[in-house]
């Protein structure tokens, strides 16, 4: 039943999306919820892989480069690291499915320091659909690594957002012009 398609829902957590999140993109991120949940439901139902790479940190880690750039966010075991709103509900209902799983990541890219590439290749995945936040940070770095690893990319423009509108727009152009991504 599984296919060569996978959906990556990147960092769609309270800290990045909710009004009181530590590093929120706010309303631009919040309005993505129906699109992301509908896409997750559609792809999971047809047997595609639905993966939730989720940023995780230890506060004030002197060895992590983000500690110098951003306030503490997505700290393990906190409300801020929980999936945001309707996606949390969807995941709670589907997490036992064999084609749905969430995993930790500690860098911008979903590939850096994870076994994502290995798991995708084992499953013969060739095309990645990307949604989540932030368009110009974690979605971008994941897309660049995916491109360099030979994956085909589909970016759902109504499924990505950032706290930086100019960065968001730049990243959408970059996905298409430099990575050959299909923008839908």
Domain region containing 177: 5-183
Q: In the chain, which ranges are continuous DSSP H helix?
A: 14-17, 27-30, 33-45, 66-69, 85-94, 116-122, 140-148, 165-177
Q: What is the pLDDT along the chain (184 residues), one digit of tens a residue?
A: 568 999 999 999 999 999 999 999 999 999 999 999 999 999 999 999 999 999 998 888 888 788 778 878 888 999 999 999 999 999 999 999 999 999 999 999 999 999 999 999 999 999 999 999 999 999 999 999 999 999 999 999 999 999 999 999 999 999 999 999 999 9
CATH number of the domain to which 104 belongs: 3.40.50.850
DSSP state of 80: G
The domain total for the chain is: 1
> How far is the C-alpha of 30 from the C-alpha of 50, rounded, in Å?
20
Give the pTM: 0.96
């Amino acid at each position: 039943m599984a296919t060569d398609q996978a959906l990556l829902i990147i960092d769609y957590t309270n800290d990045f999306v909710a009004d009181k999140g530590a590093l929120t993109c706010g309303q631009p991120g919040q309005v993505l919820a129906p699109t992301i949940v509908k896409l997750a439901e559609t792809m999971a139902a047809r047997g595609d892989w639905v993966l939730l790479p989720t940023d995780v940190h230890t506060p004030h880690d002197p060895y992590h480069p983000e500690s110098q750039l951003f306030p503490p966010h997505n700290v393990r075991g906190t409300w801020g690291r929980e999936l945001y709103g309707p996606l949390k509900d969807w995941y709670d209902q589907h997490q036992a499915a064999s084609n749905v799983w969430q995993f930790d990541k500690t860098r911008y890219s979903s590939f850096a320091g994870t076994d994502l590439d290995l798991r995708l290749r084992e499953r013969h995945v060739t095309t990645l659909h990307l949604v989540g936040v932030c368009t110009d940070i974690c979605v971008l770095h994941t897309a660049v690594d995916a491109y360099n690893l030979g994956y085909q990319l589909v970016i759902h423009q109504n499924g990505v957002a950032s706290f930086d509108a100019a960065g968001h727009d730049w990243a959408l152009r970059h996905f298409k012009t430099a990575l050959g991504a299909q923008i839908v």
